[in-house]
Amino acid sequence: MHGGGLALAMLAVFGSARLLAELCERLRQPGIVGEILAGILIGPALLGWVTPDPVLDAFADLGVMFLLFRVGLEVRPSEFAGLGKTAVWVATLGVIAPLLLGWAVMRAFGQPTIESWFVAAAMVATSVGITARVLEAKRLLAEVSSRTILAAAVIDDVLGLAVLAAVSSLARGGIHWIDLATTFVLACGFTILVARWGSRALSHVMPRLEAGLRGPDARFTLAILLMFGLAVMAVYAGVAAIIGAFLAGMALSGTAEARVHTMTHGVAELFAPFFLAGIGIHLDLISLVDRSTALLAVAILAAAVVSKIVGCGLGALKLGRREALKIGIGMMPRGEVGLVVAQLGLSLAVIPQQVYGIVVFMSVADAFGPSGARLGVPHRQIHPGLVVRPGKKN
């Protein structure tokens, strides 16, 4: 896609996403609902104006990366103190429950073993991008449940990576335990290292680097270099690039000036609609026309919702039932993570087109859960100009 075609696609995606987001806001609904619906409306599922495209996917990747970086800037590492054990339990049970329930549902419908494990693997991970967008839009990043969700989602990504690697190896003929263990250790080590000591290290390094630069917006330049740098390192360590972007923002949260926040917000607002609308664009309803496939899709969606609410909720029960429910709902969306797993299964010829459509349907549909749920203060009761920052009372 080049030239006028690219510009037209960008206009259609960005324009429709922002238009429907504005409409939802006027109806006192979260804007994220409108942005995903925009992708469904203009994508192959309905009007067919825009189809999945590598360029638009690249914009979507940038959108979720800047979104997680911006969220990281609002979250100080000290805010996660005391949440470690709870987040680990939330993430662990939030992986085990969907994995087992997803496999059981697929087998109950007579699906082959490998297909069942791949669909179960797609149900494991949480889309931290969608959840972060919802929490940020509702000004809830300072809530205990929100910080637990973000911490658990990062751990979830590492555990989900191990599950996906195991299932992929199984599809290729056998599990290579040494490679799997090495990847898991590297992913854990990278995440813990940056989360624990990144902020302290940057507080000493960044002022010295800024002193040697004379260009405009030197701090923003250094911040973006750090974001991309940690995103690349995250990929090599075995976790998603967006986890590196989130950790970069969190490491800078104590030193970033207001202009860095402002410029990051602007870039994120430009690209984030491509990420959210892109989820809807990937939905193709034709694959769900068959009655048996549609029934399986509904069953998988129900299992995806129940398994996260129950699994993650049980892991957070020490915080109280209300907080546990919020966390369970907040961990529901699979979003782009489910799409990646589905695409991998299709490329390995492990799952047929119908099962691919089921996973995409599940990934799109369960993204609406946190958007419509009351994860804290009702959206309409928050003044649009109010920004809740961790550790501060507004």
Domain-located, residue 388: no
Task: Say if residue 156's pLDDT is above 70.
Answer: yes
Given this model, what pLDDT does residue 1 score?
Answer: 60
- pLDDT class of 386 with cuts at 50, 70, 90: very low
d(CA 148, CA 86): 7
Task: Say if residue 184's pLDDT is above 90.
Answer: no
Owning domain of residue 170: 53-374
Task: Say if residue 367's pLDDT is above 90.
Answer: no
Assigned token pair, 260: 């860095």
Q: Would the pTM of this model clear 0.85, i.e. be above it? A: no
pLDDT digits (tens, 9 = 90+) for 305-333: 999 999 999 988 888 888 888 888 888 88
Domain-located, residue 363: yes
d(CA 239, CA 233): 9
The CATH number that applies at residue 253 is 1.20.1530.20
Torsion angle, alpha carbons of 181, 183, 188, 194, to 10: 160
Domain-located, residue 380: no
Burial class from Cβ neighbours inside 10 Å (0-12, 13-18, 19+) for residue 256 reads buried
pLDDT digits (tens, 9 = 90+) for 199-257: 888 877 877 777 767 667 788 888 999 999 999 988 888 777 888 888 898 888 878 88
Domain-located, residue 381: no
Task: Say if residue 48's pLDDT is above 60.
Answer: yes
| Number of folded domains that form the chain | 1
Domain-located, residue 7: no
Given this model, what pLDDT does residue 387 score?
Answer: 39
Assigned token pair, 279: 């989820």
d(CA 336, CA 142): 25
Domain-located, residue 30: no
Average pLDDT, the chain: 80
Burial class from Cβ neighbours inside 10 Å (0-12, 13-18, 19+) for residue 4 reads exposed
Given this model, what pLDDT does residue 170 score?
Answer: 74
Q: Please give the DSSP secondary-structure letter assigned to residue 79.
A: G
DSSP letters spanning 317-369: GGG-HHHHHHHHHHT---HHHHHHHHHHHHHTT-S-HHHHHHHHHHHHHTTHH
Residues constituting the chain: 394
Task: Say if residue 371's pLDDT is above 70.
Answer: no
Assigned token pair, 172: 């290729």
pLDDT digits (tens, 9 = 90+) for 127-143: 777 777 777 777 777 78
d(CA 55, CA 365): 24
- pLDDT class of 393 with cuts at 50, 70, 90: very low
**Which has more confidence, 255 or 379?**
255
Given this model, what pLDDT does residue 107 score?
Answer: 92
Task: Say if residue 12's pLDDT is above 90.
Answer: yes
- Point out the least confidently predicted range of 67-71, 161-165, 368-372, 386-390: 386-390
Given this model, what pLDDT does residue 382 score?
Answer: 34
d(CA 361, CA 287): 10
Assigned token pair, 144: 């205990």
Domain-located, residue 34: no
Angle subtended at Cα 104 by Cα 99 and Cα 107, rounded to the nearest 5 degrees: 125
